[in-house]
Structure 1
Amino acid sequence: MKQKDSLKFTNKEVPDIIWREAYVALSHYPELKDTPITFRFKNNIKKSFMQAQPSFSGIFKNRKKRGYFVFINKEIKIEDEVFTVTDAPKDVIIGWIGHELGHIMDYRNRSGINMLWFGVKYLTSHNYIREAERAADTYAVNHGLGKYIIATKDFILNQSDLSEKYKNRIKKLYLSQEEIVELVEDLDELEEEAKKKD
């Protein structure tokens, strides 16, 4: 089979190099089945490896018809370290994509005006960035991606050569590994209770 630069499945466009990881992450979000999402490599996303955002041409469309992009840095240079998508294990990429899909879940509930206001606050408020990033992590964990989010945090904080400055930013803005484990345990307890009721 001839390799393509990107594959399309159910109105999703995904670069071939990450289509398996994207497929796993998307399978945890059945609500996004009919949502158009384009994954695209991009140069120079500042301070981040991936970034989800609505399609600006459709920002004022009906929320159900709005499309989204997940931009992925071809490489991220933090101080003297250069990091690419192929440097990370598959579970880490699944976690990263799962986090970005968490942002899209959040965006789906917002009107066009609210999305614009969200963008302004995200660019100007450190506390708002923290709130948005922790919400995306929570969406991912609540959709069964807890082990992948933990793998991503572990890779960034303990296994990669990324700078301490970048690692400290992750610690400040995102859920900690301990908080994620606690969320996963809470979900497991709820599932057990639901099974007992059945």
Structure 2
Amino acid sequence: MKQKDSLKSKNKIVPEVIWREAYVALAHYPELKDTPIEFKFKKKIKKSFMQAQPKFGDLLKKRGKRSYYIMISERFNIEDQEFDVTNVPSDVLIGWIGHELGHIMDYKNRSAVNMIWFGTRYITSKRYIREAERAADTYAVNHGMGEYIIATKDFILNHADLSEHYKNRIKSLYLSQEEIMELVEELD
């Protein structure tokens, strides 16, 4: 994926290949309208397809002045299956992006010191990874993205070629489809 094939707006940079899905997901987060976010392809992201993070140089800036990346793995291998954005269904991609935008919502509320502490705990504690991933799912569902988050879970959990080990990891770290439905019902 070529980074130069990106669309730029006032404060968003999005590769053309995912502009529609990014636009749909961003539309659910009006409070991120003025937040600089760059969607960027990366050769490989360890244990993940996407990853949201503040731009390193902005980490010590005030909360409202930070810029963020959403890194997207060019190719994502789960066991012997290879995925990329061109063979992931659109609603699944929207859900994945919506989940990452949920992380950005979480990050926007954290001080610089808290962000550093967050990163440290995320790297060192499975319990904290679970907390952070469930929080991002919750942000996405609370922003009207429940159907997309469920589509993403369905894609992973019902994919015949993925191992039970990987599926169990997803089940243990993220909200279940039942928990998502409960959150959706609470919103109605």
**Range class of TM-score, shorter chain:** over 0.9
Work out the CA distance in 2 between the residues paired with 1:10 and 1:33.
9
Structure 2, unmatched stretches of 5+, are none
Q: CA RMSD in A?
A: 1.0
The structural deviation recorded for 1:24 is 0.3
| TM superposition score normalised by structure 1 | 0.91
Q: Are 2:8 and 1:8 aligned?
A: yes
Distance 1:160 1:72, change over 3 A: farther
Contact 1:95 1:149 in 2 (8 A): yes
* 1:82 equivalenced with 2:82 (yes/no): yes
Contact preservation (8 Å) 1:6, 1:14:
yes
What residue in structure 2 maps to residue 195 of structure 1? none
Q: Percent identity?
A: 73
Larger Rg: 1
Once the two structures are TM-superposed, the CA of residue 159 in structure 1 deviates from its matched residue by 3.3
Match of 1:17 in 2: 17
Q: Which residue of 1 aligns with 2:72?
A: 72
Unaligned runs of 5+ in 1: 189-198
Q: 1:160 to 1:57 in 2, by over 3 A?
A: farther
Tell me if 1:186 matches 2:186.
yes
Deviation at 1:164, TM superposition (A): 2.2
Aligned residues: 185
1:44 counterpart residue number: 44
- Cα distance in 2 for partners of 1:66, 1:136 equals 18
Moved more, 89-98 or 74-83: 74-83
Deviation at 1:10, TM superposition (A): 3.2
Contact 1:10-1:33 within 8 A present in 2 as well: no
Q: Distance in 1 between matches of 2:122 and 2:154?
A: 25
Q: After the TM superposition, which residues 94-133 of structure 1 pair with which residues of structure 2 at under 5 Å, given as runs? A: 94-133=94-133
The equivalent residue for 1:61 is: 61
